[in-house]
Amino acid sequence: MILLIDADSLIFASCYRKRENPEDEKYYTDIADARTKFDHQFMAIVNSLEEVYNIDKVITFSGSKGNFRKLLTNTYKANRKGAELPPLLNEMHKFVKQQYDSIYGYGVETDDMVARYWYKISQDIGRNEVMIVSIDKDYRQFPCLLYNYHYMHREIYDISEEQAMYNFYEQMIAGDGADNVNYFKGKGKKFSEKYFANCDTKYKYTRKLFELFIQKYKGKARQKYAECYHLLKLRTN
């Protein structure tokens, strides 16, 4: 089994201290503490999966520069502007890059890089021989093995072709609040489930979804559909 670990969330989490009281400092100020926390979290994930699988290789991904999605619309991730960031975040990215030889993205995001590697490896040796490790729901658009290591989940998802296809089209309706992508406010999972009830092929999903875009965006439907698609679809090439 080859593990593809999206380390961005782990890096972010490693910058935070465990607070005993609300008034305690929430960020680490000593880089050694943040590094130790990251190492422990990373190895805990690998060790837990080694109890189930024979791990042959671990590939780590973290960080990116430039983002083609921000060229599509200035609203993409606009909700994050001005957000407070941990003071050690950049140093931790450098640490993971140096110590874990993590793969960095240029012009794309970390999850695009993971998607590329997953697609190539799954094509070469089979989708049951590679697993994505991440708390990011965006990976559910692929028929992959996905391990969500969050303490409230800690679950391995075996996503079928049919489920992956549904997941992506559902997301085009429900949007992604974390990235400020929402083309149909007020419509979510329950609406999508009913709306796509009779869809079982990519053609049917596409046709049904495009009808919804026409209803809302009229003459701009094609532009908005393409925009939404490229904002949410992870790159595999």
At residue 33, the pLDDT reads 95
At residue 151, the pLDDT reads 82
Using DSSP bridges, classify how beta strands 155-158 and 145-148 pair: parallel, antiparallel or unpaired.
Answer: antiparallel
Residues of the chain with pLDDT under 70: none
Q: Which domain holds residue 39?
A: 2-159
Domain presence at residue 237: no
Same domain? 40 vs 144 = yes
- Report yes or no: 42 and 10 within 8 Å, Cβ to Cβ: yes
Domain finish residue from 120, 144, 159: 159
Three-state SS for 174? helix
Same domain? 155 vs 166 = no
The domain that holds 35 is classified in CATH as 3.40.50.1010
At residue 119, the pLDDT reads 97
pTM beyond cutoff 0.85 = yes
At residue 236, the pLDDT reads 94
Q: How many CB atoms lie within 10 A of CB 147?
A: 23
Same domain? 39 vs 113 = yes
Q: How many CB atoms lie within 10 A of CB 6?
A: 24
Could you tell me the maximum CA-CA distance found in the chain, to the nearest angstrom?
56
Same domain? 129 vs 65 = yes
Nearest to 116 by CA among 144, 135, 76, 91: 144
At residue 14, the pLDDT reads 96
CA atoms within 13 A on the CB side of 73: 20
